[in-house]
Structure 1
Amino acid sequence: MRKTVEVDYSLWIAAPLKTVQSQFADLQHHIDANVHPKLRYELLAQEPRRARYRQEVKLLGMRQADLMDRRIDDDGSIHDESIDGFNKGAKIDFRFEPKLQSGQAGTEVHVKLRLQTPPFMGLLAPLLKKQVWKETDAAARQDKADIEGGHYRPSAALSAAMA
């Protein structure tokens, strides 16, 4: 029996809202800078508020490849959905909000990830949830380091499209 695994995650980044939104949306930067060494991306199509890409990740010792469809809302929220592959139907939603932390301006990133366990592996749901949370935390911290370390420079085209 398949079970749905859901992970809610938040992380504060010391950077303006538009910079954080732009970095999270910039798949080409993630590829060029190898922001997430454990993830592999192949950008197939890019429009101002849409993208299609392939993503490969290893979870629970299994290499998982998915064809992802990305949509970016007017408010900068990002919605990724696996439309084909190992995790077909999985969804990742990113929301961003300006937030002060210890008097410093920054951006709170909220990530919600939903996926089903592989067929006949429903008993692995708690282990999968723990692994997905760990990988989400690692990826978000890599984005944070990329942004706060000054490695990310918003492209003019992407910034204009997200304005």
Structure 2
Amino acid sequence: MTRFAEVQHEEWIAADLPRVKAQFADLEHHIHANVHPKLTFEVLHQSPRRARYVQQVRLLGIRQRDVFEREFGAGGSMTDTSVEGFNKGGSLHFEFRAETREARVGTRVTVTVRLPLPPVVGGLIRPLLESQIRKELLAAVAEDKHDLEVRGYTPRVLLRPTLAQAA
């Protein structure tokens, strides 16, 4: 039985729901705008309901390469599951909800990261791994928030039909 390190974070972003969902789903934008400088992406395949991509990151000093498959849920959620690589079986799950705060339109994003623990020392390193995941997750969500609120991400014309189908 595989055990997991799991970390969840919620963030409110001052941008409407369709724009936030589009930005989080737009792999090409993340690559070209270098939204996440610590991450490297390569899109292998993308369609309206799915994507397959390679992600590389350094976590706890270890270079990790994973192939992820992305699926969009009926309610507009997004789940990326590692199907090959260091974190095979792990996942990133994104939930999006429209939420107005102080008369400002925005979106609450909930991100859950689940990474498999090594079988031999799994329980012993869980607190250290979860602490590092939390640190990296907070940084990544802050980068997406900055991209949306400060840089002013605008969905690509080709992306709009894809997101309408995923919503």
TM value normalised by structure 1: 0.95
**1:69 matched residue in structure 2:** 69
Specify whether residues 53 and 105 from structure 1 end up closer, same or farther in structure 2 by C-alpha distance, changes over 3 A only.
same
Alignment of 1:4-153 (within 5 A): 4-122=4-122, 123-153=124-154
SS in 1 for 2:153: coil
> Is the CA contact 1:2–1:121 (under 8 Å) kept in the aligned structure 2?
no
Flag structure 2 segments of 5+ consecutive residues without an equivalent: none
**Deviation sequence 1:9-44 (CA, Å, 0-9, x none):** 100000000000000000000000000000010000
Find the aligned partners of 1:119 and 1:151 in 2 and give their Cα distance: 43
> Is the CA contact 1:51–1:70 (under 8 Å) kept in the aligned structure 2?
yes
Of Structure 1 and Structure 2, the greater strand share is in 1
* Offset, 1:2: 6.1
Find the aligned partners of 2:117 and 2:102 in 1 and give their Cα distance: 39
**Deviation sequence 1:42-61 (CA, Å, 0-9, x none):** 00001011100000011111
**2:3 matched residue in structure 1:** 3
- How many residues get paired? 163
Whichever residue aligns with residue 159 of structure 2, its letter is L
SS in 1 for 2:31: helix
Whichever residue aligns with residue 9 of structure 2, its letter is Y
* Percent of paired sites with the same residue: 48
Is the counterpart of residue 157 in structure 1 residue 154 in structure 2? Answer: no
